[in-house]
Amino acid sequence: MTVRAIEHVGITVPDMEQATRFFCEAFGAQVLYDMLDQPLGGPEVEAGLGVPIGSVIKAIRMLRLGNGPNLELFTYAGVEQAPPVRPSDFGIQHFCIYVDDIDAAAARLQQAGGKLLSQPGNLPGGDAGIGNRYVYTRTPWGSTIELVTYPSHQHYEGRTGLRRWRPAPTLPGDDSAQSS
């Protein structure tokens, strides 16, 4: 078995059109397709996804996001829903988007209706390096997204030959990646 990469991140959103607009405006996401012709529910869906009885998937939409994993957006009906998790909660609590210009990406996210939890700051510890920065943000519905850029070597690289994955640099005229 060979693990190649994360293929997609699934996100349940309260409003499909609002979420689609946000990801398209903030990050240049592209809508690939809608997966369902009609709502999907019942015992097989409940058991297969581990969702409460009465859960109905109203819509599923796949988005392309730059050169990283795709985003799969879901909307549900028929059940009470909890607010989005915070970084201190158990489980998957944020995803991170690599950008070339973090200040421009942060401004674009805000213009699309997102919220910065602080201003972009220097990455600490093992991630530290010249120009290496990050900021945590929230979507209009409260999910957490981190923006990161690390254009230079990171401090941890002096201690191991292993390297974390990073997207290949964008070449001038390359329209296969969305700009930040």
pLDDT tens-place string over residues 131-142: 999 999 999 999
Number of domains in the chain: 2
> What's the CATH code of the domain at 111?
3.30.720.110
CA distance 142 to 132: 26
The parent domain of residue 61 ranges over 1-81
For residue 173, name the pLDDT band (cuts at 50, 70, 90): low
User: Residue 178 pLDDT more than 50?
Assistant: no
Among residues 35, 57, 81, the one where a domain terminates is 81
Among residues 14, 46, 81, the one where a domain terminates is 81
Model pLDDT, residue 3: 75
Q: Pick 36 or 175 by higher pLDDT.
A: 36
Q: Span 40-50, mean pLDDT?
A: 94
CA distance 14 to 81: 9
Cβ contact 76:56 at 8 Å: yes
Whether residues 6 and 38 share a domain: the answer is yes
Tokens 């799969």 belong to residue: 72
User: Residue 17 pLDDT more than 50?
Assistant: yes
